[in-house]
Structure 1
């Protein structure tokens, strides 16, 4: 018997529209192909540490920012649980801290994932903060693609929300 192409999917969530569309895509895949699904949000403490070392942030600011990011992560993961429930899909969620790409790879390996789903880069707003965030996400995605032991799917389709509503 031939093994299915994937049975366990990990979706990376960072709060961006692209990652939320990737999560919806992962939920649809899990429903259609009867897969296990896990959503992972990583608080990027690696970057916070670098900002503190470079004196861009002081320790108190790092602590506050880290707490805010953790709260954001919990909110996004809760939102994904609700979306998965709407589609009768079981989803496990995990909030981690560290370097985004390495923590995501670690989580996928621990879950024995066959597939990692990421949000793709789009050419949206070009404010300085959005460009910096997009560059950071692109760098993390490149590391994940290059380091993953399983397949990686990058979701770029902007119409995922429409498909999600139809499913």
Structure 2
């Protein structure tokens, strides 16, 4: 998974769509969101850590397709990060940049990640966190990397009723 995160980071850093969007707000569902900043070598480790966590969650969901899991809830505001927060070991700016860059990154003609922005109902004072999901080309890429395993994290010996495999690789050539 670490190697896949490094490979994906290198793809993001060099992608023309991502580079063209640096310094501009990322538009999701016709609404401008955060301004994307450049991926600097100085912060490489924090970007890689964010990518690893995102990939791990995407892999878990992709490995459990029969259980109707589809999205990852991920806070894209600073409330979820910091010393007292659940994600205190992960850099908020790194997560935000990586998520928006993965949304801009066209992979197989589609964004690598789909984003469903969170909403906040002021009358009820109840919010819903932003959700992300991997596109079909992203799932194919992860499968080719050998990262999607049926019923992960169980070992083959622990799987009593094997999950049918929903992802198929196209034959090369």
If the TM-score is normalised by the length of the shorter chain, which range does it land in? under 0.3
Which structure carries more relative contact order (alpha carbon 8 Å, separation 6+)?
Answer: 1
TM-score (norm 2): 0.27
